[in-house]
Every structure is written in C-alpha cells, then in structure tokens.
Amino acid sequence: MRFAILKSQESYAWKAKRFCVLAIGLSLVLSGCSVAKRYMATDTAFENRIEYNTRDTRVYNDLKTVAIGSALLIDKRFADGYLELYKTRVQPTDEQFQKVKTRLYGYLDKTTFLINFYSPEAAFSNLDGNSKWQISFSVDGKKLYPIEIKESKPEDWSYLSDINRWDRRYIVRFDTTKVRGVVTVSSILGELRFDFRNFRR
C-alpha cells in the first residue's frame, strides 16, 4: 500500500542502451556511467522523499482488516522530485511539462495529501460524496475539515507504484499551510491515523 516509484520499461530500455555504449570506447563509457549515476540518484532521492512524506496504517475489526490507507504529503520537494523524474523519463515538450508542473504546484498553497484508500466493505469503500468516513486534520490544537476531497485518476500519478491497484486515490486539501499534525479518517468501523507531527520540511 505504501507509495514508491513505479519502475517503467523505459528505464530498462535505457539501461540496455547504456550497455551498448560501453562497447564504443572509454570516453563514452565514462560519459554513460555519469549519466547513469545522475539518473539513478534522481530515482533514489525521489524514492527517499516518497518514503519520508508517506504514512500508512490499517484498521482491524475482530482480527479482520476493514480498511487500509496511505497518506502522502504533497510538498515542494515531492513536487520537484516528481517533475524531475517526469522530465527524465518522458522528455516532454515545454507545454506538457508546464501542464504537469501547474497541476502539482497548484497543490502547494494549501496543505494537501494524496490518500490511497481501500476497504473491502462495499458501503465504506469511498471517501468522497456520501462517504461514511470523516476526514480531519488536527494541527495546533485545532481540528480542520477538508475544503476539497477529489478522487484522482491513476494516470495523474504515473510514477508512483501502488497507485494502479484496487484501492482509490483522493486529493484531500485543508485550509492551512501547516503540516505538522495528524490526519484522521474515521467511521464506525474504526480510525486510520496518519501522524505527521514530526515532519520537517
């Protein structure tokens, strides 16, 4: 359920190309290795950022899992890492890049989470609309409720694994810019708590 980088076929094709370059000569070998190092460093740095920005938990009822969730805080470091990976793998046009950048940066004016959610209970399977779950964000002694809950399409997050599975994804926004708090998703089934109180920007 935890978010991670989706390993695309493009990366494997790129590696195959790199090995072909090795046969050409020492100078090209060194150049190829340098590019590879930068590419892998980008992936590793972004993977670490995803890990740092994500909290996950689940709810049990009589030893049965009734809900699973992950909350990923969308901040500028995450947005920039995602954009760098997008630029490296896709090599988009300026227009395509700006479209994705505008979408991601549009989340930064308010505290925004990407919540991955699944419940096997049909009546409790969604977080938007007439959901039986209530979402809140406790920060500085106050309990805030979302100003927006919007289901997000899998293709909006092409480089996150665990994003194209049976679970559903939601952009959840709160009217604050503070991030050190606890996100709670609760119902009569129980409570999912995502603790960001120790988060450092």
Question: Domain-by-domain residue ranges, the chain?
Answer: 4-195
- Quote the CA–CA distance of 71 and 128 in Å, as a whole number: 15
Q: What is the pLDDT of residues 81-135, one digit of tens each?
A: 999 988 988 889 999 999 999 999 999 999 999 999 999 999 999 999 889 999 9
Phi (first) and psi of residue 168, to 5 degrees: -120, 150
- Quote the CA–CA distance of 48 and 146 in Å, as a whole number: 27
- Quote the CA–CA distance of 55 and 68 in Å, as a whole number: 11
- Quote the CA–CA distance of 93 and 106 in Å, as a whole number: 20
- Quote the CA–CA distance of 130 and 65 in Å, as a whole number: 22
Contact present, 180 and 196 (Cβ < 8 Å): yes
- pLDDT at 71 exceeding the cut of 60: yes
Evaluated on CA atoms 97, 98, 103, 104, the torsion sign reads positive
Q: What is the pLDDT of residues 36-59, one digit of tens each?
A: 333 334 578 888 999 999 999 999
5 confidence band (pLDDT: 50, 70, 90): low
Which range has highest mean pLDDT (30-34, 108-112, 167-171)?
Answer: 108-112
61 confidence band (pLDDT: 50, 70, 90): confident
Which range has highest mean pLDDT (13-17, 44-48, 82-86, 194-198)?
Answer: 194-198
Contact present, 191 and 59 (Cβ < 8 Å): yes
Q: What is the pLDDT of residues 125-161, one digit of tens each?
A: 999 988 999 999 999 999 999 999 999 987 788 767 5
Task: Write out the two tokens for 76.
Answer: 């500028």
- Residue reference for tokens 């920039």: 80
